[in-house]
Amino acid sequence: MVAPSHDEDEDEEINEVIIAGLFGGIALLGVSGVAYAGTAYESFDTVLPVGQFAGWTTSQTKAYNNTPGQISISSVGSSYEVDAQMCTNVPTNCGAKVYYLNDGDFENLPNSYASGTTVRMQMQISTWNSVKVQVIGSWRSQ
Q: What's the confidence (pLDDT) of residue 89?
A: 84
Residue 38 pLDDT: 87
Q: Is 131 a domain residue? A: yes
| Overall domain count for the chain | 1
| Amino acid at the residue 24 | G
**Does position 113 have pLDDT exceeding 90, yes or no?**
yes
Residue 20 confidence (pLDDT): 45
In a domain, 69, yes or no: yes
Other Cβ atoms within 10 Å of 79 Cβ, number: 8
Instruction: Determine the Cα–Cα distance for residues 108 and 140; give it in Å rounded to an integer.
Output: 10
Mind giving me the DSSP string for 97-112?
A: -EEEE-TT-EEEE---
Domain that holds residue 128: 43-140
30 within some domain = no
Q: Are the C-beta atoms of residues 71 and 99 closer than 8 Å to each other?
A: no
Q: How far apart are CA 32 and CA 123, in angstroms?
A: 31
Q: Residue 110: which CATH number?
A: 2.60.120.380
Does residue 98 fall inside a structural domain? yes
In a domain, 114, yes or no: yes
Q: Is residue 31 a part of any domain in this protein?
A: no
**Assessment of whether the complete model's pTM goes beyond 0.75:** no
Q: What value does the mean pLDDT take over residues 117-142?
A: 96
In this predicted structure, the answer to whether residue 23 has a pLDDT above a threshold of 80 is no
Q: pLDDT at residue 27 above 60?
A: no
In this structure, of 5-14, 61-70, 100-109, the range with the lowest mean pLDDT score is 5-14
Nearest partner of 123 among 82, 64, 74, 88, judged by Cα:
82
